[in-house]
Structure 1
Amino acid sequence: MKLPSIFQKAVAEKKLMISVSGIRAVLPDGLDPNELCTIATAFADTTGNTIVLGRDSRPTGEPIISLFRAILEMRGKTVIDTGIAPTPTVKAVVAARKASGGLIVTASHNPEEWNGLKFLGKGGFFYDQTSVDALLAEIASPAHRPTVAATPGRSLKLGRTTHEDGIDLHIKAILKSLPNISAIRKHKFRVVVDAVGGAGREALPRLLAELGCKVVPLYCEASDRFPRPPEPTPAALKQFGALVKKEKAAVGFALDPDADRLVTGSVNLGAVHEEYTLPLAFLGKRETLKKPGILVVNLSTSTLLDAVAGPHRVERSAVGEANVVGQMLSRKALFGGEGNGGVIDPALPSFGRDSLAGAAWILSAMAAQNVKGVDDLLQQIPPLFMSKQKLERNGDLNEAFGRFESIALRTGKLQYVDHRDGLHLLFNDRSWVHLRASNTEPILRLIAQAPDKKGLQELLELFR
């Protein structure tokens, strides 16, 4: 990936991230208004006629999306603005309205001093690496500069903006996919929702209300500040977990700011590890699948989905929703996602990480099995022994990968090495380690899983 010169300094200072997960920056140091205008014009000049816009609740979101809206209109585009809406909702609108593309202004789980841009193509799919590279090339080229007034006598054809309740469209699509809505409604599940004041603060409670649930809201009101750390980690979800226990809720659902990730909560455990979201949701989806097929997760995802996959085969892709979805498309997968709480159902127009879909399928599984709470489902999934660490990113990555691989070889237990995304090492006891550069933060990620606690400790000690 070749970076335009205007971005190189900010990237070097770790204030700007550009990857297959989009563009994220600390504002204003990572991206200033001039650079945002450059990106907006390049995007307008490389996409089609109808563009869907949406954003999360960060205070910087409205100015940024207004800038993009204005430039798109000046380029003659038809704009559909969904306002504050979950990332999967914007994706669903792009697909349902057969739009040329879309833009989501969000930095997802990053702290609130960050904001970012996620670009969508036809079908509501995120830009893959080829599309990202093409956009960066356009940004670096003088061709993105405004030219509509360069020719004397040439008229300016303005585009127009309409507004759409994408949440309604999204919810209807999910309800249509569920096989047992009446059973879910009959249970009248009590559900705690922690929306972190973000894009899912209206959408998820609306879906749950349609499913007959009694919603206990936490951080579902509008706010110009995130009331807790935006990433739904165990430390950030202590109040959420305590409320699930206090309310004796059937289940709890916690979101990140753009509501593409979902973490569950239970009476016994409080906030549940994010890796359980995907297998819990699959317990619901599994009942609708008539034939064995392919399921796709990324290399950093645990083997919990494998444990409940039954006759279905689990395959792994590089990290990043675009990579998972790309492999799902090529393999005609029936289901997939990422271990960070991202549930992907290819039958929905969102066809990407979708917290609303995840919540719906978990409730569907609870109703289908006639259980009172998610703890009953969790008993069907094996225990997890996993470590996720963030490391400072310094030095030569290839050198670090080489050291890790050498250490693994000396154990005599190395079964397979995968170089598709950093370094993924699989050992013959089914334990594994994944070391890679993050797509969303200026860090390295070290993720490891083993069959038991002792094995995990030995694995981490080996690579200390």
Structure 2
Amino acid sequence: MSLKINRVTTHPFDGQKPGTSGLRKRVTVFQQPGYTENFVQATFDAVTLNVLRGKKLVIGGDGRFLVPEVVQIIIKMAAANEIGRVIVGTNGILSTPAVSNLVRARKAQGAIILTASHNPGGPEGDFGIKYNVENGGPAPEGVTNLIYECSKKIQSYSIADIPNVDLSKPAEHSFGSGFAVEVVDSVDEYVTCMKSLFDFAALRAYCSDPANKFSMLVDCMHGVTGPYATRIFVNELGNASNSVMNNIPLPDFGGGHPDPNLTYAAALVEKMKNSEHTFGAASDGDGDRNMILGKKGFFVTPSDSVAVIAANFAHIPYFKQSGLKGLARSMPTSAALDRVAAKLNVEFFEVPTGWKFFGNLMDASRLSICGEESFGTGSDHIREKDGIWAMLCWLSIMAATNSSVEDVLIKHWTTFGRNYFSRYDYEEVDSDKANSMVAHLQQFVANPALLVGKQFGRFTVASVDDFAYTDPVDHSVSLHQGIRIIFADGSRIIYRLSGTGSSGATIRVYIDSFETDSAKLTMDAQVALKPLIETALELSKLTEFTGRKEPTVIT
């Protein structure tokens, strides 16, 4: 039986250009008649002919508002565009790491992820659509550019006249002409993957041994991670049922902002400060980011977290067996990982922000562990960052060394020195004002002599540039990835406009300063970095250009 295909006339919408993490806009934008369908069709037009036609497509979302409706739209459009099989999580829910794992485990040719990651949800919140390629990672720029070009000239979209698919339980649904929808348990295959990487028996023994006085608290922030964290940390590792909080995914994330940092995960921080829990963690809306805390809210920066995991790779069964192929970080991330790579004598890469750059290196077998300062950590087990994976890494290190989070980190600083690091985010800044500030900074890039050699307190400017990256695998070039001011002692100030917001511009200012004096390794980061932060604001004239006297978020 052939399917009835409707060809619907439409017109292009302005601004459907995917960023580093897909297309993100307000929910109300996606609710415009034809808007979502246009972008999905543009995606299919860009990739179906050579990649997806007759093949497998994974679909999953983070449970935010509008996900159920859009999943059904994509299923019907997939049928109309001759995709052979759709694999979708129960109720349309899959974490971003789980999607990447499913693509790889099922040898699918691509995936569509419905998420705006750490951005707020609900009817007035954000929504997003991201296309991942057959390695399980985000689409490279060549693909996203093609999607954008298709979106600018689209005249119609195709959608099959089939009923909504029951996504409430695992099942197989077949339709005419060889099209099928397979509904899978959202958690099962991801847990299987984690069990292949970590020693769950050893972790369960560590968590349950009274002598360790171990107690954990994981805040899922009403995002997608709730079912995964409950299955792994409670059911598999035997921790108390109340060790996972806010574990029911909600369309509006319970009215919160599902970004695992000290500002938006303040409830977790307070609970840690006022309890005897020895390990705390939080994850974001789609489950790919993480924050790690020790007793009394002891904060581990993401830059330190990836460095610690790499330095202790031998305590993680997967890496103990496979070894390290290489290490990498995004350019704005502190240089803590650089020192680990040097000591371990493994290949090291500094890449632009965006997980797709790590994926190329992993596919070429040149990268094992990587991270971004924006609370993303991961490895080559998939092609996305992975919040639960990072938590399991920390538990593995603690269990193997019988050490607290604080002890692990202080030992690391004593061995490698400490990179004091902070990021100031100024969200929803007027785009023209943000661009004016960047134009002001570009004068230093065009004429470095304006700054090189000048002294700001104890900091002497050594170089100024706008970071560019040539991919060592495919030789693609990425320009204008962030303005860097590098000082003679290795300290850095970096300015970058982020593409993860849904409106206005987000200015990010990164401050990184290296310290080896053993007497100064445990200072408060904001105190240690204050002179460099003041220099960053002075050089950029941020307040004068934007009118902002305080950042929206400090991490």
Which protein is bigger by CA-based radius of gyration?
2
- TM-score, normalized by length of structure 1? 0.87
Distance 2:278 2:240 in 1: 10
Aligned to 1:456: 532
Aligned to 2:230: 205
* Aligned residues of 1:308 and 1:381 also touching (Cα < 8 A): no
Corresponding letter in the other structure for 1:52: V
Q: Which of 86, 96, 102 pairs up with 2:111?
A: 102
Cα 1:157–1:183, aligned 2, differ >3 Å: closer, same or farther? closer
Aligned to 1:163: 183
- Cα deviation, residue 84, structure 1: 1.4
Q: Which of 262, 266, 269 pairs up with 1:234?
A: 262
In the TM superposition, what are the counterparts of 1:147-186 in structure 2 within 5 Å? Answer: 157=177, 159-178=179-198, 180-186=199-205
Point out where structure 1 has 5 or more consecutive residues left out of the alignment.
Answer: 150-154
- TM-score, normalized by length of structure 2? 0.74
- Cα deviation, residue 272, structure 1: 4.0
Cα 1:183–1:447, aligned 2, differ >3 Å: closer, same or farther? same
Cα 1:305–1:140, aligned 2, differ >3 Å: closer, same or farther? same
Corresponding letter in the other structure for 2:296: N
Aligned to 1:344: 378
In the TM superposition, what are the counterparts of 1:207-286 in structure 2 within 5 Å? Answer: 207-209=232-234, 210-214=236-240, 216-227=243-254, 228-286=256-314
* 2:532 alignment partner, SS class: helix
Aligned to 1:63: 69
* 2:350 alignment partner, SS class: strand
Number of residues of Structure 1 aligned to a counterpart in Structure 2: 446
String of CA shifts for 1:86-121, please: whole Å, max 9, x gaps.
Answer: 100011001110111001100001122100011111
* 1:123 alignment partner, SS class: coil
1:363 counterpart = 2:395: yes
* Aligned residues of 2:493 and 2:510 also touching (Cα < 8 A): yes
Distance 1:461 1:283 in 2: 34
Corresponding letter in the other structure for 1:370: N
Identity %: 21
Aligned to 2:409: 378
Cα 1:404–1:165, aligned 2, differ >3 Å: closer, same or farther? farther
Distance 1:323 1:222 in 2: 30
Shifted more, 388-397 versus 244-253: the winner is 388-397
String of CA shifts for 1:43-77, please: whole Å, max 9, x gaps.
Answer: 23423021100001212111112211111122232
- Cα deviation, residue 138, structure 1: 2.2
1:326 counterpart = 2:353: no
* 1:124 alignment partner, SS class: coil
- Cα deviation, residue 242, structure 1: 2.3
* Aligned residues of 1:198 and 1:257 also touching (Cα < 8 A): yes
* 2:411 alignment partner, SS class: coil
- Cα deviation, residue 171, structure 1: 1.5
Corresponding letter in the other structure for 1:109: H
* Aligned residues of 1:17 and 1:24 also touching (Cα < 8 A): no
In the TM superposition, what are the counterparts of 1:106-125 in structure 2 within 5 Å? Answer: 106-112=115-121, 113-125=125-137
Aligned to 1:28: 28
Distance 1:147 1:109 in 2: 30
* 2:226 alignment partner, SS class: coil
Shifted more, 85-94 versus 276-285: the winner is 276-285
Aligned to 2:424: 389
Aligned to 1:193: 218
String of CA shifts for 1:364-389, please: whole Å, max 9, x gaps.
Answer: 11111022x32221222435533312
* Aligned residues of 1:148 and 1:156 also touching (Cα < 8 A): no
* Aligned residues of 1:79 and 1:160 also touching (Cα < 8 A): yes
- Cα deviation, residue 122, structure 1: 0.6
* Aligned residues of 2:95 and 2:287 also touching (Cα < 8 A): yes
* Aligned residues of 2:302 and 2:372 also touching (Cα < 8 A): no
